[in-house]
Every structure is written in C-alpha cells, then in structure tokens.
Chains A and B, each alone.
Chain A
Amino acid sequence: EVVMTQFPATLSVSPGERATLSCTASQSINANLAWYQVRSGQPPRLLIYSKSTRATGIPPRFSGSGSGTDFTLTITSLQSEDFAVYFCQQFDTLPVTFGQGTRLEIK
C-alpha cells in the first residue's frame, strides 16, 4: 500500500502568518490527493481534492500544490479557526491511505 508521510508532526505559526504543511507519498500518486481539516470535537472536513481543487465553501487562503510524490497545503493569513489537525489522503491506489497528520498550533 502507499505510505503517506506528513511533516512536520507539529507546526507552530502565529495568527496572520502563512503555514506550509507537507505530505509525501511512497510512490507516485499523480494528482490524486486530498486534504482534510479536523478541529477539536468536529468531524473531518474536506479542504482540497485532486491536489489543488478547493472543496465547496473552502476559502481561498487554503491552497494545494505538488505532483508525483510531494505535496503541500498552504494556508495564508492564518485565522484562529485554522488551528487544527490536517491530514492528507491518497486515492491513486487502493487501499486509499492517509498521512499521520500535522497539528497546526498557535505560536
């Protein structure tokens, strides 16, 4: 199965700044990657699919990029509600697999 590795495990950033989260696949997954946000006490929320397409209602400060094995989620102008855990997920090959998550915390 495709192993997804996210780093860093924890990222400390100040509100209003930019956060850059990374996700690496153990083999090429083309553009078949999604990102999710998990706020405390809430279900996962789809942010990005197919590498860079924002899901319905997701603000433009969230953007996805990358290709092949290396992908990035960038969040600009961090708002208080953005401090959460973020997961990547590949759907290029079954079984679909997730990264271990990056916790974005307030610096």
Chain B
Amino acid sequence: QVRLQESGPGLVKPSETLSLTCSISGGFIKSSDYYWAWIRQPPRRGLEWIGSISFDGRTYQNWSLKSRFSFSVDTSKNQFSLRLNSVTAADTAVYFCARMIFGVPKAFNWFDSWGQGMLVSVSS
C-alpha cells in the first residue's frame, strides 16, 4: 500500500519561500497512471487543489491560485516537491500531498492516497 509523507518547515516568514517535499513509500513515483498532487486547506476553509506533476515533470496548476507555485520531482529519491514564493499570511494552511489518478475517465481524476498533511504557518 502506497504511503505519502510531507516534510518541510512548519513556520515561514512573510515574503520568504516555502518548500515542501512529499516522500513516497510502498510504491513508485515512476508510473504513467498517476500524477502527484499538492492540496491545501486554509483554516476554516475547504480543500484547494494547488497542482499536480507527473513523474517526468509535466505539471498542471490551479490557474485560480496564480503562478507563485512551482513543482519538481526526484525519481531517484521517490519524492516530489512544492515551492511557493513570496508567502503571505493567506498561505497559512495544512498542506497535503496526494496521488492523483490520471488518464481515465478524465485526464485528471480523484485522489486515492493522501499524506497526513502538515500545518504551515506564515508569520514573522
């Protein structure tokens, strides 16, 4: 059974860059059946898909979140990562990584495995 685990700083100062990594165990990132996703949940709000990346680096982002996010993948470490530039208090949220079903029935589908999530606070 695949497991995902987020890691990174729990506290980031405003205007700095947030970097999070998701480590995959029990499965391999190199699969054409999946994209690897980031989702966040701000306090007292719903879940928000940030974007997804394939094992070979193709990315799709939530256009409504603008383009402060970047995504990368390291197949040698079975990990993928998220970077967010110029963070503000509005970026305070629980960040989840997840595995996204790709290809059928739509190009991008549901999330069948999730990390535990980690709270990232933006504060000076």
Q: Which A residues are within 8 Å of any B CB, using their own CB?
A: 1, 32, 34, 36, 42-46, 49-50, 55, 87, 89, 91-92, 94-101
Contact = CB atoms under 8 A, between A and B. Distances in A.
B115 A43 contact: yes
Q: Which of B64, B96, B106, B113 has most A Cβ within 10 Å?
A: B106
B46 interface: yes
Nearest to A89: B110
Contacts of A92: 106
Given A1-B64, A44-B96, A49-B112, 12 more contacts: A32-B109, A44-B98, A44-B111, A45-B114, A46-B111, A91-B106, A91-B108, A94-B60, A95-B49, A95-B62, A96-B108, A98-B47
B45 interface: yes
* Secondary structure class of chain A's binding surface, majority of residues: loop
Contact of A49 (B62, B110, B116, B117): B110
The bracket for how many chain B residues form the interface is 20 to 34
Given A32-B105, A95-B62, A43 B96 contact: yes
Contacts of A99: 46
Contact of B46 (A43, A49, A91, A101): A101
A17 B2 CA distance: 33
A91 B64 contact: no
Q: Which of A34, A43, A49 has most B Cβ within 10 Å?
A: A43
Interface string B30-74: 000000000000000111110000000000101110000000000
A44 to B, nearest CB: 5
A94 B107 CA distance: 9
A55 B47 contact: no
Contact of B49 (A44, A45, A96): A96
B47 A43 contact: no
B82 to A, nearest CB: 16
Contacts of B60: 94
Interface string B90-112: 00000010100100011111111
Nearest to B61: A95
A36 B22 CA distance: 20
B117 to A, nearest CB: 6
